Amino acid sequence: MTAVTSLTSSLEYITHQRQIRRGGLNDWTIARGMHASSTRPTRRILDAVGHPRTTQALHIARIAAGAALLAPGNARWRGAANMFLGLSNAVLYPRHRYGTDGSDQVSSFVQTAAGAARLSTQPAVQDALLWYVALQANLSYLVSGWVKLLGQPWRDGSALNGIMRTRTYGHEGMWNLTRRYPVPARYLAHGVLALECLFPIAYLKGGALARPVMASAAAFHVANGYFMGLGRFVTAFEAMHPMVAYTSAPKDHPAVAGRDDRALTAAASMAAIGVTVAGFLAAMRRMRATDPWPHGRVLTTRHGNELHYNERISENEDSPVLVFGTGMVSTAEHFGWITDKLVEESDYGIITYSRAGYGPSKRHATSPYVLQESVDDLVDLVRGSVAEGRKVYLAGHSLGGEFARRAAVELGSRVSGVIYLDSSHPEELTRSKQQKDASDRLKDGLNMFTRSLQAGLGATLVRPRWVHNLPAEVRSRAFAQYADSRLWKAGMREWDATEVDFNGFSGELPAVEAHALVLSAQRTVDRDPEQLLMHNELAAAHRGDGRVARTSVIERADHDSMLTDARIGTDVGRRILEFLDEVEGQDGAAAKSAGRRGGEGRSKGNQSKEAR
């Protein structure tokens, strides 16, 4: 069955040559850039495999090996063929990054395990490898089912209708049936959940339930193949079922006489050790995530929230202070490249802080969370940490930009300017179809991440690329917060409030009597031009009475990389410095002009008195 999967896979790839040619979806001259951080030997191997002739030769060899495995026989060369198919599939994965799916991954590890078992002469090794595939089968169904269970569409039974209406995996006929018969569709969705979440019951009562469970799974995969176009999934996942049947049969069954089950005991022991280690790592991450900055400060707001902040305040009292606010599910460390640029090339004061529930900051408010709570916290932070009379600039990324705008309105003359970094807009959920469509997926993603981290799965997280792109001294702290469920729980709380607040917003933005710099990420506005219009409206709310209101699009930047990418983040810092220099120069000139006018007025007054 895995031979059929590999054979089908290679036939598909070899008949779609346009995908690997220049300009294709898997053009290696472009795809190889994703492996720029790999070692030189690895890159050389990948470049060799990535050559069109090498790729074609490997697929031809895979077709031959797959066809040979379909012939009868039990010679040892079959194990070598299995190993070749498994390993070559893994080697070809980077070459076909766009277009591979779970069936390729399943086929790869089944082929490798089956090949190793065929090549081994030790029954204990063979049984261990068969147990390995069987346990992987159980794990694949379990994880798939429990991840689905975290999503609201699967719990309320609407997921099937949603999948069938998509262009990628949908089926118009099935979609019409789910619309016409919503109750059976809901039962069918719940049946899929039950099958996947309860797959291990195949091992109960000496494997008495193995056949009906595997038959149900087979029907599920056949249905996926027909309705969703996932034909290779049928043979790929079904290839694991013989191992499930073998390991679930009672020991007194003649077919499994002498079966070595020590692999199961070893797996259970390793799982117990893994749970213990995961718990320990979660505790260490929590300590790291909530550890205050070495020279940080704490401020208690009107809501009782404890805000931890880090400051670098210049002794020059005429030097303004910039207060940076993060986006949702983000950390103060995201501003590392920008603040480094400001520190190197200016003596402006800088304050970065964590909102209540983020990092070391704690939320003690007892009332239901609304966005105004975070605005109040920011207002209290400015009033409590910046000396009266000193200029303040509020800088905010994403949702932090909206908090900065609202806080600027309340702070009035205390704020000299607002810096928006790919900021949110209170009408984005009602005006932007893309934002509206993404809102449900975002909520499901936040929920899944929070539940997964609370279950101790943070130990399985790999540092995302954006963490590696941050300045070296803040990476470990940023990742500790990213892998801590508190960050995501706070993000869920903020997103729920954001949906209510933004969907209820109407009218125009109130005027903000402060200067403004609005920076937009190019990829944000390219994907959704409505965002650029809303960013222009943010700037328009600041115009008037000689105020500076600048807008600019950061080339090649996306919503996150405008902060986390070293080159782009440094460029953002440079633009902020240019904006501050312009504003400070203009305000300074205006102050001198006002002083001269005042002096002239006093001189004329004195002359008048002398005349009298």
Nearest CA to 436 out of 508, 372, 482, 503 is that of 503
User: Does 571 score more than 70 pLDDT?
Assistant: yes
Average pLDDT over residues 191-220: 93
Average pLDDT over residues 575-589: 88
CB atoms within 10 A of CB 238: 19
pLDDT at position 430, please?
Answer: 92
Terminal C-alpha separation, the chain: 112
Higher local confidence (pLDDT), 611 or 310: 310
Lowest-pLDDT range, 23-37, 182-196, 307-321, 591-605? 591-605
Cβ–Cβ under 8 Å, residues 334 and 326: yes
pLDDT at position 370, please?
Answer: 97
User: Does 183 score more than 80 pLDDT?
Assistant: yes
pLDDT at position 598, please?
Answer: 56
For the stretch 360-363, contacts whose Cβ atoms lie closer than 8 Å and that sit 24 or more positions apart, written own/partner, are 360/289, 360/290, 360/291, 360/292, 360/293, 360/296, 360/308, 361/305, 361/306, 361/307, 361/308, 362/305, 362/306, 363/305, 363/490
Q: What percent of the chain has pLDDT over 70?
A: 96
Higher local confidence (pLDDT), 420 or 15: 420
How far apart CA 466 and CA 47 sit, in angstroms, is 25
Cβ–Cβ under 8 Å, residues 553 and 559: no
Cβ–Cβ under 8 Å, residues 148 and 159: yes
Mean pLDDT of the chain: 90
How far apart CA 255 and CA 210 sit, in angstroms, is 15
Average pLDDT over residues 20-39: 83
DSSP string across 235-262: HHHHTTHHHHHHHHS-TTSGGGTT---H
Nearest CA to 89 out of 26, 7, 164, 158 is that of 7
**465-503 pLDDT per residue, tens:** 999 999 999 999 999 999 999 999 999 999 999 999 999
**44-75 pLDDT per residue, tens:** 988 898 888 898 999 999 999 999 999 988 88
Average pLDDT over residues 434-448: 83
Can you read off the two tokens belonging to residue 15?
């008949």
pLDDT at position 193, please?
Answer: 93
Q: How confident is the model at residue 589 (pLDDT cuts 50, 70, 90)?
A: low
Cβ–Cβ under 8 Å, residues 300 and 371: no
Instruction: Specify the pairing of strand 349-353 against strand 321-325.
Output: parallel
pLDDT at position 246, please?
Answer: 94
pLDDT at position 612, please?
Answer: 37
pLDDT at position 596, please?
Answer: 53
pLDDT at position 611, please?
Answer: 41
pLDDT at position 602, please?
Answer: 47
Q: How confident is the model at residue 333 (pLDDT cuts 50, 70, 90)?
A: very high
pLDDT at position 536, please?
Answer: 97
Lowest-pLDDT range, 102-106, 348-352, 392-396, 571-575? 102-106
pLDDT at position 583, please?
Answer: 93
CB atoms within 10 A of CB 354: 29
